[in-house]
Every structure is written in structure tokens, then in C-alpha cells.
Amino acid sequence: MKKIAVILSGSGVFDGAEIHESVLALLAIEQAGASWHCFAPNIAQHHVINHISGEEMPETRNVLVEAARIARGNIDDIVNLRAVDYDALLLPGGFGVAKNLSDFALAGTKCQVNSEVKRVCQEFAREEKPAAYLCIAPTLIPTIYGEGARGTIGNDPDTASAFSKMGGEHVVCPVDDYVLDQQRKILTTPAYMLAGSVSEAASGINKLVQELVKLA
């Protein structure tokens, strides 16, 4: 059975991993006949957002502890993740990618990726193992793979422009499809960058995961 490593960035779209995308991806992995295991960095979240009001809350939370909610406790610190132990990698979206796994939400094109996240993603790249980045997660790709790496965040002009300025090649893509950089084995899909419902998000994620498992 093929094994997929999944990196989560907390729990909740505005300050962590997008929960629908995460669960849809885990379900799709199982339905494709593969297994998954979740990882997250053991660090403080950038901040905590009230998901009703959208306002920042006066408290701190830990990315690994919050991500464990989605994984039902079946999760490890990312320092223990080695590409050699898995066949493929997947990163759901959510603002946690741009606030906790990197500082893209603050620094834009000058963003830095968390050192352990970068190490893991580059290990999968060096081993030539396929990796999937959903929603906003493709903003990490230029830093991981360098010049010319292809990917999509859908059609948002500002994010697409940032992706290109960082050295990536952005491809416009509808919600129900995915983009494959065949040379680098990178798969991307817009998910909630474009989706207006859970089923719309699932339409592209399911196709992407099927291909990810095939390539693994």
C-alpha cells in the first residue's frame, strides 16, 4: 500500500489548515487505495482567529496540537518526517500555510518557509517523489523547487502574480481540475481559492489525489 505524508498547518481556514480540504484529501487518499499519516510543526501559531467574527483573539495556540484535532490524534512532529519513508506528499491549504508554514501572508514574494517544512518538501523533491499542494499551499512551490516550477492557485491575479515573481510559472485552472508539472511531479488544484462549496472543493481534490497516488 502506498503511503502519503500529509503536512497540516493548524486547524481552521483563517489561522490553520483548511479543514474541509484536509478531510477531503484524507478521504480521497483512502479511496485511492493508499494510506496517510499527518505531520505538523511543533510551533506557536502566528495568531488565533475567531472564525465567527474574523477577529484576532488574545491567546496562543500550538500548530501541532491544533492539527491533531483534524488527524484525531494520529499525527507526529514534522521533525520526524523523512521522505524515504513515504511515497508522496500532500499539503492542504488554509491561511496556516501562509502564516504558520511560511510568512507569505505578511512578506509576500519575500516570504520565508519554516525550516523543517522546507527540509521535508525539498527531500521529496530530491527523491523525485510526487507532491501535491492545494489552495494557497502552491505559494511554497517556487521556494521549494526554484525557477520554472509550474502550479496553480486558480485565477486570483495578485496571488498568481506573486507566484510568478517568486520564479514559478502560474497556470490558470478551474476548481474541478488540477495542474501537473510532469518534470518535477508537482500537482496543484485551486480548491477553496475558487470553490463555493464542499462538493466543488472535492471535485478537483479527488482528481488530484487519484493522480498523486498513481504517480507514487
Q: Where are the beta strands (DSSP E) in the chain?
A: 3-7, 35-40, 48-49, 56-57, 75-77, 88-91, 131-134, 150-151, 169-170, 179-181, 186-189
Backbone φ and ψ for 57, nearest 5 degrees, come out as: -110, 145
DSSP 127-148: TT--EEEETTGGGGHHHHH-TT
| 100 and 138 Cβ atoms separated by less than 8 Å | no
For the question of residue 173 being annotated catalytic, the response is no
Query: Of the listed 38, 111, 121, 135, which one is catalytic?
Result: 135
164-to-49, 53, 146 alpha-carbon distances in Å: 29, 33, 11
Question: Annotated catalytic sites, by residue?
Answer: 135
